């Protein structure tokens, strides 16, 4: 077993916060020993019988002997006395921290004891978590989970001490923020201390009145909400107000000035200005709400996974049905949700991206049955039936969900916030926010690069626009058209090149008229969708990995059944054909409004390098990572141009693929809008093309699957890290590759 973070932890004070942290340390095995000192003998006995501490002492000196972490979890005013007592027993590598609500006075207390030479291990802290209950029994192991903990390292604090405390609090699942002491006290004075002071003071103001009983009896929600925190512990707040006197007085001054302003507006009956002030405050409150709901990203606690593929020749054969189309699955839920009546979906992709969309609509009050074996029934709520979600909508890795929903949510009566995982949080959202704003939406993206979280203020009247798409993006096109469903008049989008048209096709299947005239797609707002049955075809983007796998493997023979061959998606077939692959598209038919076919590929000849046709780029946009693997196995050079969009997918697919290819011994040069790959293939020679090595997938499912396919022609072991995202689009990937003859070892 690895060494715990600490040898011995000593708590001085063991109330709600202290005992909760002790529970975390126990549960996570972060220390070999935990002891405590409190004034109450009963607390110590209780803590012992709860199994939180091995020993309890009345005298803090006894507790800290030999401790490498001392946590002061006692009222702040007692800090100096305790530090004086324990000072002789602290060693150079003891970490001393505290959990008090104010920090300047804790530092002052330490300076009074240690002088200016504060111990290196002294790092004050403030977990912003609490509850109505106090005491050792009230502690909870998850008290700090998803709460903020502020550490205020001092110039004297050592990096190792700060690092260890960060690890400790992260083990408690808290979000750790480091801040300067003064800044902490100023921020808390405004966000916590002033509101408490005002609550106490308001209750006092009302309680002093002679008719107080009546006032309290009739006081409705506003008073109850505002005064809730006046029920807090007076001693604690007395201490805090004194401890943070300077910053609290500043905050009170600011309050008085603002109070005078609003007082005067009422006195002067300045209606215009008063409306301005109230409206501004209301908007700011909404904005704070959004900010409170959103985080830079909310990665679910997902286990990271890796794939390992051994070297050696492999066969690649069989008939397979790959899972349902991701684009069609997303849309089936979205359109089913706003339709009138029920929609029944078969072949639904039970991958995380489409499930994120499904969850989003459940969060907005739509009743959805399934998915079970690819079947989903959505009980549509109609165009006006979506309800405000309780909190931010989490879109995981899915750009399609976020961009299409931006359009839908911009038109709703309620506010909403969308967040995503580490990959989605880096992807551009202004491309959809900008045209939506032109339609009258109020939508904010984050940071200079306009990334998620996306924050939408509802209840805006949208107007149709004519939009010339600056980039070939089906997601942006779809987001605008979806907003157009609620907009006044006509909404139209003109594409620079045709992109996947599932939105147009499926809206028509739901009975909504959509016009396509050349590259211009338009619809009129104000109509309705009628529930229908949707049959989701197999995803050509998932089939692509098997197509490339078969194309680069000698004597392979793979058939992919019932694959969607919508002409806006078949670039991969065209490009592989141009590279000389042996592909037959057979048994073409229509299913659920989309063309499907069986695709058979055989490894009969070596591929050849080509200049990939630019007009096929939007039609193969998701398949390039796999096609780069094909290009590496081809004879001669392959050049891709006009594909800058690849840089803003789940990862920068040009750079990440180039890095991985180079790791595996392929000579390639990334360019601004494409790549040049020197194929290593030789006609009639099926020996390994790739060496091996460790590949980082950068949270991108298609990167992970592409390099897996390279495992059909490797001379050394390939390890791909971060493969958990494969579940976003192709949850059965490794199962099917193993059956075909490419065993992939999956480990966590």
What's the per-residue H, E or C state across 620-670? HHHHHHHHHHHHHHCEEEEEECCCHHHHHCCCCHHHHHHHHHHHCCCCEEE
Task: Return d(Cα 96, Cα 89) in angstroms, integer.
Answer: 12
Strand order in 668-671's β-sheet? 635-640, 674-680, 668-671
Q: Check: CB of residue 395 under 8 Å from CB of residue 361.
A: no
Q: Name the phi and psi angles at 707, rounded to 5.
A: -70, -20
Q: Check: CB of residue 628 under 8 Å from CB of residue 661.
A: yes
Q: Which is nearer to ligand S3P, 102 or 445 (CB)?
A: 445
The radius of gyration of the chain's CA atoms, rounded to the nearest angstrom, is: 31
Task: Return d(Cα 720, Cα 390) in angstroms, integer.
Answer: 38
Which residues lie closer than 8 Å to 453 by C-beta, 6 or more apart?
290, 293, 294, 295, 296, 392, 417, 418, 419, 420, 425, 445, 446
Q: Check: CB of residue 406 under 8 Å from CB of residue 361.
A: no
Please report which residue ranges of 443-525 form alpha helices under DSSP H: 474-484, 502-509
Q: Which is nearer to ligand S3P, 400 or 425 (CB)?
A: 400
Shortest spacing between CB 566 and ligand S3P, in angstroms: 11
For residue 163, give both structure tokens: 């690092």
Q: What angle do CA 275, 279, 283 make, to 5 degrees?
A: 175
Q: Which is nearer to ligand S3P, 403 or 713 (CB)?
A: 403
Q: Which is nearer to ligand S3P, 622 or 696 (CB)?
A: 622
- Nearest Cα neighbor of 563 from 348, 342, 324 is 324
Q: Check: CB of residue 96 under 8 Å from CB of residue 63.
A: no
Task: Return d(Cα 124, Cα 396) in angstroms, integer.
Answer: 35
Q: How far does Cα 445 stand from its chain's mean position?
A: 14
Q: Check: CB of residue 157 under 8 Å from CB of residue 123.
A: yes
Shortest spacing between CB 370 and ligand S3P, in angstroms: 21
Strand order in 582-591's β-sheet? 317-320, 557-564, 594-602, 582-591
Task: Return d(Cα 258, Cα 685) in angstroms, integer.
Answer: 80
Shortest spacing between CB 470 and ligand S3P, in angstroms: 12
Please report which residue ranges of 28-121 form alpha helices under DSSP H: 41-49, 60-64, 79-86, 104-114
Q: Which is nearer to ligand S3P, 181 or 474 (CB)?
A: 474
Mark 75-87 as b/e (b = at least 16 C-beta within 10 Å).
Answer: bbbbbbebbebbe
Shortest spacing between CB 727 and ligand S3P, in angstroms: 15
Chain residues in the site for ligand S3P (CB under 6 A): 327, 400, 473-475, 478, 500, 621-622, 645
Shortest spacing between CB 201 and ligand S3P, in angstroms: 54
- Nearest Cα neighbor of 431 from 402, 411, 458 is 402
Could you tell me whether strands 594-602 and 557-564 are parallel, antiparallel, or unpaired per DSSP bridges? antiparallel
Please report which residue ranges of 349-419 form alpha helices under DSSP H: 352-363, 399-410
Q: How far from each other are the two terminal CA atoms of the chain, in whole angstroms?
A: 18
Q: Which is nearer to ligand S3P, 598 or 622 (CB)?
A: 622
Shortest spacing between CB 701 and ligand S3P, in angstroms: 10
- Nearest Cα neighbor of 129 from 19, 287, 251 is 19
Task: Return d(Cα 96, Cα 124) in angstroms, integer.
Answer: 8
Q: Name the phi and psi angles at 511, rounded to 5.
A: 85, 15
Classify residue 193 by its DSSP letter. I
Q: Check: CB of residue 392 under 8 Å from CB of residue 418.
A: yes
Task: Return d(Cα 493, Cα 436) in angstroms, integer.
Answer: 12
Q: Which is nearer to ligand S3P, 492 or 559 (CB)?
A: 492
Q: At what angle do helices 624-633 and 653-663 cross, to 10 degrees?
A: 30
Active-site residue, 622 included: yes
Classify residue 190 by its DSSP letter. I
Which residue among 501, 622, 652, 700 is the active-site one?
622
Shortest spacing between CB 93 and ligand S3P, in angstroms: 52
User: Active-site residues: which are they?
Assistant: 622
């Amino acid at each position: 077993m690895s060494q715990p973070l600490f040898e011995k932890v000593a708590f001085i004070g063991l109330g709600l916060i202290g005992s909760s942290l002790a529970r975390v340390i126990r549960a996570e095995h972060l220390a070999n020993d935990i002891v405590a000192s409190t004034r109450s003998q009963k607390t110590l006995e209780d803590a012992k019988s709860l199994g939180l501490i091995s020993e309890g002492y009345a005298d803090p000196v006894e507790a800290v002997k030999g401790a490498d972490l001392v946590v002061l979890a006692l009222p702040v005013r007692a800090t100096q006395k305790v530090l004086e007592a324990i000072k002789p027993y602290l060693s150079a590598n003891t970490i001393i921290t505290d959990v008090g609500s104010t920090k300047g006075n804790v530092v002052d207390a330490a300076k009074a004891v240690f002088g200016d030479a504060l111990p290196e291990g002294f790092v004050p802290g403030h977990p912003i978590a609490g509850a109505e209950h106090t005491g050792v029994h009230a502690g909870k192991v998850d008290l700090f989970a998803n709460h903020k903990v502020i550490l205020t390292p001092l110039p004297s604090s050592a990096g190792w001490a700060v690092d260890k405390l960060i690890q400790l609090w992260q083990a408690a699942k808290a979000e750790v923020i480091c801040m300067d002491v003064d800044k902490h006290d100023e921020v808390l004075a405004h966000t916590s201390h002033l509101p408490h002071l005002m609550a106490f003071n308001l209750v006092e103001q009302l309680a002093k009145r002679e008719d107080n009983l009546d006032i309290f009896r009739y006081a409705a929600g506003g008073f109850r909400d505002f005064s809730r925190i006046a029920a807090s512990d007076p001693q604690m707040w007395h201490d805090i107000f004194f401890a943070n006197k300077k910053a609290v007085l500043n905050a009170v001054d600011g309050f008085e000035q603002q109070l005078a302003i609003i007082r005067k507006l009422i006195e002067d009956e300045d209606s215009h200005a008063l409306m301005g002030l109230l409206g501004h405050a209301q908007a700011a409150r909404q904005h704070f709400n959004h900010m409170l709901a959103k985080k830079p990203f909310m990665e679910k606690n997902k286990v990271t996974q890796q794939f390992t593929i051994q070297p050696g020749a492999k066969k690649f054969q069989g008939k397979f049905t790959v899972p349902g189309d991701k684009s069609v699955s997303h849309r089936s839920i979205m359109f089913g949700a706003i339709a009138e009546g029920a929609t029944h979906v078969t072949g639904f992709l039970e991958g995380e991206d489409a499930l994120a969309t499904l969850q989003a609509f459940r969060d907005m009050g739509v009743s959805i049955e399934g998915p079970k074996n690819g079947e989903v029934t959505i009980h549509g709520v109609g165009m006006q039936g979506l309800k405000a979600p309780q909190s931010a909508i989490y879109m995981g890795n899915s750009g399609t969900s976020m961009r299409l929903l931006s359009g839908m949510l911009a038109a709703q009566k309620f506010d909403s916030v969308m967040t995503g995982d580490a990959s989605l949080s880096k992807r551009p959202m202004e491309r959809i926010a900008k045209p939506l704003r032109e339609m009258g939406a109020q939508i904010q993206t984050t940071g200079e690069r306009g990334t998620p979280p996306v924050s939408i203020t509802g209840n805006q009247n949208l107007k149709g626009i004519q939009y010339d798409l600056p980039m070939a993006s089906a997601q942006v096109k779809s987001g605008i058209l979806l907003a157009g469903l609620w907009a006044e008049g006509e909404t139209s989008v003109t594409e620079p090149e045709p992109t996947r048209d599932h939105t147009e096709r499926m809206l028509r299947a739901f009975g909504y008229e959509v016009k396509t005239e050349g590259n211009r797609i338009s619809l009129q707002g104000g109509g309705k969708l009628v529930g229908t049955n949707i049959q989701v075809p197999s995803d050509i983007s998932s089939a692509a990995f098997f197509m490339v796998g078969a194309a680069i493997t000698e004597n392979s023979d793979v058939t992919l059944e019932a694959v969607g061959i919508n002409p806006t998606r078949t670039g991969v077939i065209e490009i592989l054909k141009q590279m000389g692959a042996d592909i037959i598209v057979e048994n073409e038919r229509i299913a659920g409004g989309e063309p499907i076919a069986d695709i058979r590929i055989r490894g009969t000849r070596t591929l050849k390098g080509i200049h990939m046709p630019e007009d096929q780029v939007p039609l193969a946009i998701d398949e390039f990572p796999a096609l780069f693997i094909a290009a590496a196995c081809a004879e001669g050079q392959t050049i891709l141009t006009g594909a800058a969009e690849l840089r803003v997918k789940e990862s920068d697919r040009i750079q990440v693929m180039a890095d991985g290819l180079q790791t595996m011994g392929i000579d390639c040069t990334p360019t601004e809008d494409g790549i040049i790959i020197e194929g290593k293939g030789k006609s009639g020679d099926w020996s390994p093309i790739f060496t091996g090595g460790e590949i980082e997938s950068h949270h991108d499912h298609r990167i992970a699957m592409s390099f897996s396919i390279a495992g059909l022609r490797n001379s050394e072991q390939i390890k791909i890290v971060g493969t958990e995202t494969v579940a976003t689009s192709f949850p059965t990937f490794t199962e099917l590759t193993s059956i075909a003859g490419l065993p992939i070892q999956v480990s966590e």
